[in-house]
Amino acid sequence: MADGRPANREPAEALSRYLRPEDARLLRAMTFSPRMMVDGALSGKHRSRLRGASMEFHEYRSYAPGDSPALVDWRVFARSDRLHLRTFRLETHLECHLFLDASASMDFRSEEDGLTKLDWASHFAAGLAYVVTLRQDRISLTIFDEGPRAFLPPGGTRGHFRRMLSMLDTNEAGGRTDLAGALEKSLPLLRRRGTVIVVSDFLADPAAVFQALAAYTHRGYRVFLFQVLTPAELNLPGSQTRRYVDPETGRRVTAHSDTVRTAYLEEIEAHQRALAALASRRGIGLVQARTDQSWLAQIRDLTR
Amino acid sequence: MALAFQDPGLLWLAAAAGAVPLVAHLVARTRPPEAILPTVEFLQRAMRGVWRLRRPQDWLMLLLRILALVILALGFARPLQLAGEGWGGGTDEKHLVLVVDRSASMAGQAGAQSRFSVATARALEALRGAGRLASVNLVWIDAVPDALHPDMGRTTEPLERALREAAVSGEAGSGAAALALAAERLATVSGTRELVVISDFQTGSWSEALPPLPEATRLVWIPVGETADNLSLAALESSSTQPLPGESIEVLARIVNHGNERRRARISMTLGAQRQTRELEIEGNGEGQVSAEFALDPDESGELPLRAALEGEGDALAGDDGRWIVVRQREPLAVALSLPEGSVSEEEREVWSRLLRSILWTREVAPGDPADLAIVAGPTDSFLPLAEAVWKKKGGVIFRPTAAAGLPTDWESGGAAGSWQKSGADEAGWSLKTGDEKDPLLALFASGEYGNPVAGSARDRWRIDPAEAGPGWAVPVRYVDDVPAIRRRAINGGSLWWWNLPLDPELASWTRQPAFLPLVGEALLLSRPDRADPPHWLAYAGGFARWEPEDYLESGEVVLLDEAGTNLAITEDGTSLGRSWISAAPLEPGLFRWALRDRELQQDRVLAHTVVPFPESEMDPGAIDPASLVAAAADGQSSSALAKPDWEKMRDGTPLWPWFVAIALALFALEALFLMLRRSSPQPARPIAS
């Protein structure tokens, strides 16, 4: 849904609420970016940074104690009486772990006919899953709020993709967000290293989030964060006194938007800057998107 | 500045109006529309910093709204601005003297109330609106002005009490004297001085030159009342206040029209049971008089009040519509006959005696008894003591010249001499003629009602040269040859008649004429000693009445009663030789009665009267323009910031509701401007770069 219209208004032949056939056609031309290349346990279309068994020769090198004798090229040893190892470039499957925030705060839209953050994130997840599975790469899906609420183990088949779409279609916004807790609890579910993509509004303590993400980065996961916010959250539009209600905590604050806008934007900016600074420091990719922007463009940027 | 409300009952509206925005503010703060926002935490953090900054603006807006509504609601209560910091201006502490007119003219009407009521009300307002006062005093404009405090007072309460309890004095007023007294009081203090004069500025009270005032004295003239038409009973006089028994009195009332229009006056005069009414037309600013004749009952004794009153409506001043005089019928004149044997005939002596008996107001007394009049003849030595005693009483002596004695030379001015003449029995004698038609002796006969006083003749006379009759003699009756028949002159305080007319019927035919008795009676009346009115009959407004009984008083209590019968305080004066009583308080115009009260019988026996006439100077309600006084004072004073307050505003106040509405609208406009400024320059919604 490149134009931002809700997926549930798509024609009946749509693949899902969140992936229309025309979007799928556009995605088909995209390839998952080398920047996102990760280690895969299974050989696949993507070259691994690890050397291993595969059909593609990489280089010869001298034997070193500890090397597997199976890798010794005995033919070279016969001619030169030297122990050389013949290494091949290991072809792996992309292992992508998608974390989707489905807390109550994600069920918020700026305009009456606009996308909620959860809609936008679901579109993004469906598109990404389509791109990943198109190349027989594997993708998992973890839907969380306070903790992991639903988990679809990694898979790369069409059936897996359909199951993922089904999960997204039936997903509803839940309760309060505990992003850090959810990430910590989800780590044991992942068997293989790969790319971790977290789609959330990240309206949480940045330090706690990145502390939870540190466990992933230490284990070799490459982490990308997709923060999605609505224009309303970013601009606090309007000019009247309102009683603002937090959808997760029920906390109420009465304020005139004109009165607090500047201070509010400063707070939001500070939060965003904190996220960006921590992400940069930890080598974590951070993309800050808005629901009025095209999720397709975000995937295009990702696969470029 | 004092603020009052014409509809104070609507003040609750102001309180309610003030509560409206406050309640609305609170309700608006708790009931705004709700909106879901996931970033409430950030909003809350933002609020912590912003609230302190925004709150003063919010409260300012709230204050503006409350003020606007309260002021608007106060406007509905019709606010008034009353007297301010002092009529003379200035806000510094000052010394204030109120000079308030309570002279008789202040009893005149000023609208629905008297001038004096208005004056005291305004004096109270002046006192209350005078601002900070260092000292105060009150001076009344009276005939003899008096101040409330011997020096300057410190508090206003005594003045307020005095103003509330005061009444018109009925006295003549002297504005200049009152100002002089006020100036004297103000001279004892230093600092800012203010003199507020409240008067009707009636012409009679302000005719004198104004006195100098102390330095730095603000003088404020406050006129009360307006010029109005007034008819005054300016005078009431009687031909005699002590008539003889049977003598009628002619009462004259003078009425003055102080208005410009011609007016009809109706005057009633009452003496005992007699009442007479007269009417007359009086030109504008003119005067007229009416007369009435009253005859007292010969048996009447004691004092009688004679009251004259102007009747009718439309008169500005009621006090000058009534007037009194007191009359008292005196005892018959005591006439002593000193006609020694041989001087006049027995017949003539008998005629004199009979004549005195026939006249109601004469009685014959022996020559040794006190006499008012004397009829004498013969040698001077025989009647001189009697004559001197009569003259001492300012009575008259009728000297009857005879053959034995014509007239003592020392009584005859110019030393005129003559000779005795006697005509024969068969002769007609010498006929009479009028010597001086205007002589009082002949005034009664001018109408002819009482006959011809010079009819008849006499055959026995003392002849003197007419040319040598001597100066100082009045000769009302002469003989045809100009020889004086009756002549009269003043002597030793009394009068002397030279009666050259025989009363013996054999010698004079005039004794048989109708005019005989009236002529002799008139001569006796003209010869009667003048008797001064008793001093207690008249007192002046603002003065005291004093009564000293002529006779010994029987047991009882002397009281002084006014017209309404109210007992007035009196004191007995023990300093005089006889017993006398004095009123304790100054009297107002009216009739007052001295009576002897018998406590057992609960009866008052009126013995004397005191009349206090309305001062004539107060009758003219015409007022001088205070501006002329301002000019006069300014010329003569080294200082004096003069001002005349706007009394309409002072009395009614200045309506302030238009100002209240304007201020409320201005506050609403200010609030709208604030709102517009806030909305036209909202905090910019800056998108966050993604």
Q: Which residues of A129-158 are buried (b: 16+ CB within 10 A; e: fewer)?
A: bbbbbbbebbbbbbbbbbebbebbebbbee
pLDDT in tens, B310-323: 987 667 788 888 99
For residues B565 and B602, give the distance between their C-alpha atoms in angstroms, rounded to a whole number. 13
Name the phi and psi angles at A292, rounded to 5: -85, 5
Q: Which residues of A74-105 are buried (b: 16+ CB within 10 A; e: fewer)?
A: eeeeeeeeeebbebebbbbbbbbbbbbbbbbb
- Residue A38 has what pLDDT? 42
User: Which amino acid is it at A90?
Assistant: L
Sign of CA dihedral B161, B162, B164, B165: positive
pLDDT classification of B632: cutoffs 50, 70, 90 = low
Chain A residues touching residue B678 (CB < 8 angstroms): 258
Are the C-beta atoms of B476 and B488 separated by less than 8 Å? yes
Global pTM value: 0.55
Q: Of A251-260, B1-10, B526-535, B605-614, give the range with the top mean pLDDT.
A: B605-614
Whether A203 and B36 lie within 8 Å, measured CB to CB: no
* Mean pLDDT, rounded, for A65-83: 83
Which residue ranges form the domains of chain A, and what is each CATH number? 7-39+93-303 (3.40.50.410), 46-92 (no CATH)
Percent of chain A exceeding pLDDT 90 equals 30
Chain B residues touching residue A239 (CB < 8 angstroms): 679, 682
Whether B38 and A240 lie within 8 Å, measured CB to CB: no
Residue A246: which of B38, B49, B686 has the nearest Cβ?
Answer: B38
For residues B78 and B11, give the distance between their C-alpha atoms in angstroms, rounded to a whole number. 10
pLDDT at residue B86 tops 60: no
CA-nearest residue of chain A to B54? A259
Whether B36 and A260 lie within 8 Å, measured CB to CB: no
- Residue A30 has what pLDDT? 74
* Mean pLDDT, rounded, for B23-42: 78
CA-nearest residue of chain B to A269? B688
- The token duo for A89 is 């470039």
CA-nearest residue of chain A to B679? A239
- The token duo for B267 is 């005057």
Chain B residues touching residue A272 (CB < 8 angstroms): 688
Return the residue in A106, A251, A265 with the most chain B beta carbons within 10 A, the one to mutate for interface testing: A265
Intra-chain end-to-end CA distance of chain B, in Å = 66
pLDDT at residue B515 tops 70: yes
A290 interface with B at CB cutoff 8 Å: yes
Is B344 strand, coil or helix?
A: strand
Of B427 and A199, the structure prediction assigns the larger pLDDT to: A199
Query: Which A residues, 155 through 184, put their C-beta within 8 Å of a C-beta on chain B?
Result: none
Whether B43 and A260 lie within 8 Å, measured CB to CB: yes
pLDDT classification of B1: cutoffs 50, 70, 90 = low
pLDDT in tens, A184-214: 888 888 888 888 999 999 998 999 999 999 9
Which residue ranges form the domains of chain B, and what is each CATH number? 3-82+655-680 (no CATH), 94-227+621-650 (3.40.50.410), 231-330 (2.60.40.10), 333-527 (3.40.50.880), 535-612 (2.60.40.10)
- Residue B43 has what pLDDT? 87
Distance from CA of A247 to the nearest CA of B (A): 6
Q: Which residues contact B230 (CB under 8 A, 6 or more apart)?
A: B108, B258, B259, B315, B316, B317, B320, B619, B620, B621
- Residue B425 has what pLDDT? 64
Distance from CA of B54 to the nearest CA of A (A): 7
Q: Tokens 């400024």 identify what position?
A: B677
DSSP code, position A69: G
B326-340, B394-408, B655-669: least confident range: B394-408
- Residue B288 has what pLDDT? 92
Q: Tokens 């004069």 identify what position?
A: B197
- Residue B57 has what pLDDT? 64
CA-nearest residue of chain B to A263? B46
Query: Which A residues, 114 through 143, put their C-beta within 8 Å of a C-beta on chain B?
Result: none
Residue A235: which of B28, B46, B685 has the nearest Cβ?
Answer: B685
A109 interface with B at CB cutoff 8 Å: no
Percent of chain B exceeding pLDDT 90 equals 18
* Mean pLDDT, rounded, for B274-296: 91
pLDDT in tens, B351-404: 999 999 888 889 999 888 889 999 998 888 888 889 999 999 899 999 988 877
Chain A residues touching residue B42 (CB < 8 angstroms): 264, 267-268, 271
pLDDT at residue B639 tops 90: no
Residue B682: which of A233, A245, A258 has the nearest Cβ?
Answer: A258
Whether A241 and B688 lie within 8 Å, measured CB to CB: no
pLDDT in tens, B551-592: 777 778 899 999 888 999 999 887 766 788 999 988 888 999
pLDDT classification of B255: cutoffs 50, 70, 90 = very high
pLDDT classification of B160: cutoffs 50, 70, 90 = very high
Among the listed residues B147, B157, B222, the one whose alpha carbon sits nearest the alpha carbon of residue B188: B147
Distance from CA of A248 to the nearest CA of B (A): 7
Q: Which residues contact A74 (CB under 8 A, 6 or more apart)?
A: none
pLDDT in tens, B190-231: 888 888 888 888 888 888 888 888 877 888 888 887 767 788
CA B483 to chain centre: 54
Whether B39 and A241 lie within 8 Å, measured CB to CB: no
Mean pLDDT value across chain A: 81
CA-nearest residue of chain A to B689? A288
Chain A residues touching residue B687 (CB < 8 angstroms): 231, 234-235
pLDDT classification of A2: cutoffs 50, 70, 90 = very low
- Residue B523 has what pLDDT? 92
Return the residue in A103, A248, A254 with the most chain B beta carbons within 10 A, the one to mutate for interface testing: A254
Distance from CA of B658 to the nearest CA of A (A): 35
- Residue B650 has what pLDDT? 56
pLDDT at residue A118 tops 90: yes
Q: Tokens 């800012």 identify what position?
A: B192
pLDDT at residue B98 tops 70: yes
Residue A108: which of B30, B38, B41 has the nearest Cβ?
Answer: B38
Residue A233: which of B33, B39, B47 has the nearest Cβ?
Answer: B39
DSSP string, B234-277: EEEEES-SSPPTT-EEEEEEEEEE-SSS-EEEEEEEEETTEEEE
pLDDT in tens, B216-227: 788 888 888 776
Whether B29 and A254 lie within 8 Å, measured CB to CB: yes
User: Which amino acid is it at B324?
Assistant: W
A149 interface with B at CB cutoff 8 Å: no
For residues B142 and B172, give the distance between their C-alpha atoms in angstroms, rounded to a whole number. 6
- Residue A107 has what pLDDT? 92
